[in-house]
Amino acid sequence: EAGVAQSPRYKIIEKRQSVAFWCNPISGHATLYWYQQILGQGPKLLIQFQNNGVVDDSQLPKDRFSAERLKGVDSTLKIQPAKLEDSAVYLCASSSLRVGLNYGYTFGSGTRLTVV
């Protein structure tokens, strides 16, 4: 099966600019996640969708970050305005609820964001 697709792979922006990332999960995966991974740290959950509804966005800095998953398939994550500390890799992951407990997340290759 095709993996989780993310674009772009790399992005360099100046602080206070805006940026958007796109993710297309594995077909049929109901749950989609956005994680932020700062260099040298573990992935930090930003938002979790189930179909097109938000399950958890408690760690999303809502004053500057927004995410949507229209039609329960692909998703976009936006940052506006960006700060220097937003420099990180943004990982999208999806998982299937149907198979229950034996499958973990499938991650995309990520978008490496550098804010200068």
Q: What's the gap between Cα 5 and its chain centre?
A: 11
Residue number with CB closer to another protein (22 or 105): 105
Residue number with CB closer to another protein (49 or 65): 49
As a whole number of angstroms, the distance between CA 87 and CA 115 comes to 5
Question: Which residue of 48, 65, 113, 115 would you call a contact of another protein, by CB under 8 A?
Answer: 48
As a whole number of angstroms, the distance between CA 38 and CA 97 comes to 28
Q: Which of residues 53-112 bind another protein (CB under 8 A)?
A: 55-56, 91, 95, 97, 101-110
As a whole number of angstroms, the distance between CA 67 and CA 3 comes to 21
Residues that bind another protein (CB under 8 A): 31, 35, 41-45, 48, 55-56, 91, 95, 97, 101-110
